[in-house]
Structure 1
Amino acid sequence: MISKNIEEKFRLITDYWKPGIVAELNGQLVKLAKLKGAFVWHSHAHEDELFYVHKGTLYMEFRDKTEVVHPGEIIVVPKGVEHNPYTRDDEEVWVMLFEPAATLHTGEVTHEKTDNNQQWI
């Protein structure tokens, strides 16, 4: 059994858009990330992604609409769907991500924010 204090783990994160791994189960990684500003348009061809908003408001932009995700809410981005998460008004947003271990940070897109060497925290 693994028990972790999520607040303590979030305090260890110092870089925006660089998730840290806190758990693994059934081939899925549980990651924490702090977000601020805009990310990059991307998709994941073979994996769904679940975002749980712990603090702040997340905006998930799709090509045809934008979903607003508040603290305590989740959004699942289906595999193959292009998306661009972002925050507004310089707000720091804390999210928990659930995704298969093979999921690449920005899918097939290479960008300055791409980080496929995510570490355990």
Structure 2
Amino acid sequence: MVSSFRHHRRGFFSTLLLLLAVAGCATFVSNISVDVIRHPSNPSSSLPAFHEAPAFRNGDECSSSSATGRVDIVMTLDANYLRGTMAAILSILQHTSCPKSVTFHFLAARPEPEVLANICTAFPYLDF
């Protein structure tokens, strides 16, 4: 009975040690990724900096008429989700054959000029 208790106690401590090691590594990796991703262009800004995206051109198969084939995309705009919004915009523009036929509409709960300025800087050719 005592031997069984010692075996379970040793298994418990081994499992606990393993969990602590994994948790410590996860925290360390999480801190590294946040530090690598967040490089604000303005030291007083809490928003990440983005580089300007290239100008996207329509393919040959796109209609010259602006009304035909127009795609309207509505997205929320919030400082907390800015990276995701930027990634979505870039992905949509990269993977459509007619990027000049896409119009973005941004919905915001409150005016955040710095967030909108980031989008304008990264996508100066964007139609919104």
TM-score by length of 1: 0.27
Instruction: Please give the TM-score of this superposition, normalised by the length of structure 2.
Output: 0.26
- Compare CA radii of gyration and give the structure with the larger one: 2
Q: Which has the higher contact order (CA 8 A, sep 6+)?
A: 1
Higher-helix-fraction structure: 2
The structure richer in strand per residue is 1
